Amino acid sequence: MSEGATTTANGSANKKSAPRRATAESMAKKQREISVSEFFAKNRHMLGFDNPRKALLTTIKEAVDNSLDACEEAGILPEIWVHVEQTGESRYKAAVQDNGPGILKKQIPLIFGKLLYGSKFHRLRMSRGQQGIGISAAGMYAILTTGKPIKIVSKTGKNKPAHYYELRIDTKVNKPEILNGKGDGEDIPPGEKGEKYIQDNGIEWETHLHPESLDDTPKPLAHGTRVSLELEAKYQRGKGSVDEYLEQTAIANPHVTLHYTDPSGVQRTYRRATDILPPEATEIKPHPYGVELGRLVSMCKESNESSLSGFLTNSFSRVSPTIAKQICDKAKLSTRMRLKRIDRDHAEHLYAAIQDTKISNPTTDCIVPIGEDQLLKGLHSVVPAEFYAAATRPPAVYRGNPFQIEVALAYGGNVETQKITKDLLKELLYETDARTVRQFLILTFNGLGPDAADKILKTSKLGTRKSPNKMKPKEVDILFDAMQNVNVNEGQSMNVYRYANRVPLQFQHGDCAITKTIAGTNWRSYGLSQSRGNLPSGPVTIMVHIASVWVPFTNQAKEAVASYDEIQKEMRLALQTVGRKLGMFLRRRMKVKQQADRRSIFRRYLGEVAQAVSDINGVEKEDIYEKLLQVAKKKTAEADMVFDESGKAIDPAQADYGGGVLIVEKDEEEMLADMLNRPAEAAPSSSSDDAQNELFDEDEDEADDE
């Protein structure tokens, strides 16, 4: 019998009465407003909290970004403390403190306990935060996963009290709920009394700035803010980790000092490379080209201007009275037309006239690029290499928003597989989620491509399907030896650092316009090997930075930059600029090596040739040797090309990279390592050859002295 039928006493079957359908009135009663925090609580993956490991990084990132913005806006050289501590099997406490200006008491609950509350969304100027959603979203995630409140301490002056709050977010209404001080927080008095109160109540607070040197006396911290959250998380080193994020932050922000304590208790400090703060960005008005029709209608309704001309000149940047008249004439509207009379048809004509009028690009003092010198300093302080190049493009515009592209490149140096210790390797193997050792190598070490991983596995003979979590101590030793001794420079893939408004982007590499543009650039022209559509191979680290008043991210988590044609064009031009400098360096280095090889051949046979000519012609051997020596040195002069620390040849006629270049001479240990990684040349076979070599070297030294 089919479902939905019943049998009566006489055996007949009757269908059940149909379920009662909802009426319009009953449906209307179910409708209610959705709080923004309630929405993101159910869709937290949109904000970067889709897994425990990513949640920890996003929490640290949002707090550090806020600290840097606050310090720079107040004209304070930033000093930031980051502390990650494990409190349970899958729980971590993340704390970030800065020496910024502090936050007013009444603003603290709103900033940390209300989503979409901030000062950066409506203003057009470069800043790390944009939406007023980051740190409050981190607090919401922490409360949802552990139930522990957000703890905030903020102080605005030396002799002023510190404000201490414990709060949670009421997601139903998107409002903060203060849990301590009878709903009003607590004030901690300044001085020794306050320090005792902090100590007695277990409140975490850095009381002194770290001295720059051991001889300096620590200075009391007069102002700043600290936020602590306990959340469900996972700490893991390697790509996409807190460690990598902080290291990359130090590159793009050479004016910051970062103190980092990881869950193992290991403390690391990234000292600032410069004491100069970046210039303060200036707020600008929206550009007419960046305003869509619906927004134009809203601006007309919200404006207090009386005339159409006044509205255009005072509401937009780069619109003078002359430009306003041109727009009105093309729209067939009077400049004196009352703004309240503007309807949708008028606005549509006005919008079309704006697009048809030539208006200058917006001013660019609203964005602050890092600058080529600072890019070189930042990259050199973190990434060991022998050649550095940087390029900053002129400002450009997309959708009326000014932006600027910067690119820095580092070539050379050892990969991370050759820099770690055996103990660290064991920790990484224990922490990883990778299923195979090959996958572990590729995902953990930046710049290590599949080919390089295969070379290590082939040498270690571990097999491609070996699980990293099940490796025996002997197998770990074998893997470590292979990682240290295998030359993986040829199989190394380009390491890409992506930045937006000085903030590192850690996830969604493949969806980002930066990665797509790099892969679409022809790096073979600049001396690197590259397969079509992929990143090039080689010991290269490249950093791409976009600075804009409004970065077009692909989602609210701010993980990747959208592919606008104007942005990708500027990226491509900047990449080509540093690519040409790298190609010039590699070609000249190859030429120097070739000339050095020729000179080496001359060294071996110069004495014998001089002796043979002397025997035939009866000419003095020393005279012939001296003349042959001069000819050899002249023919191989490029082997003596020497560059200064900025990358320019000692003789300016020999090399000119066009600025933005730093070349670092390798020390003897690094040069020996390079020699061990290539076939050794045959050694001279006799003592007479040794004498000739010494004579040749002496002549070179004399020439250098002259």
The tens digit of pLDDT for each residue in 48-102 reads 677 888 888 888 988 898 899 889 888 999 999 999 999 988 899 999 999 999 9
Torsions phi, psi for 232 (to 5 deg)? -75, 120
Sequence-distant (≥ 6) Cβ neighbours of residue 501 within 8 angstroms: 126, 127, 128, 546, 547, 548, 551
Most confident stretch, 19-23, 279-283, 451-455: 279-283
Query: DSSP secondary structure string, 291-332?
Result: --HHHHHHHHHH---SBHHHHHHHHSTT--HHHHHHHHHHHT
Is the Cα torsion angle 346, 348, 352, 354 positive or negative in sign? positive
Helix intervals (H) in 496-564? 513-520
Band (686; pLDDT cuts 50, 70, 90): very low
Q: pLDDT band at residue 407, thresholds of 50, 70 and 90?
A: very high
Q: Which candidate, 577, 599, 598, 580, places its Cα nearest to that of 588? A: 580
Cα→Cα distances 656→406, 580, 638, 649, 660, Å: 21, 12, 15, 7, 11
pLDDT digit string (tens) for 211-267? 776 667 778 888 999 999 998 888 888 777 888 889 888 888 888 999 999 998 888
What is the per-residue pLDDT for 199?
A: 85
Name the nearest CA neighbour of 251 among 100, 115, 424, 385: 385
Average pLDDT over residues 331-336: 88
Q: How confident is the model over 611-621, as pLDDT tens digits?
A: 777 777 766 77
pLDDT beyond 60 at 21: yes
CA distance 117 to 132: 5
Note whether 54 and 240 are within 8 A (CB).
yes
Lowest mean pLDDT among 195-209, 258-272, 332-346, 691-705: 691-705
- Going along 143-266, which residue ranges are E strands? 150-155, 162-170, 175-178, 186-188, 224-232, 257-261
Residue bearing the bigger pLDDT, 605 or 242: 242
Measured CA angle at 245 (ends 241, 251), to 5 deg: 150
Tokens at 572, concatenated = 């491509």
* pTM score: 0.68
Most confidently modeled range among 162-166, 429-433, 647-651: 162-166
Other C-beta atoms closer than 10 Å to the C-beta of 641 total 16
- In angstroms, the Cα distances linking 406 to 400, 509, 587 are 20, 18, 24
Alpha-carbon distance of 82 to 63, in angstroms, equals 9
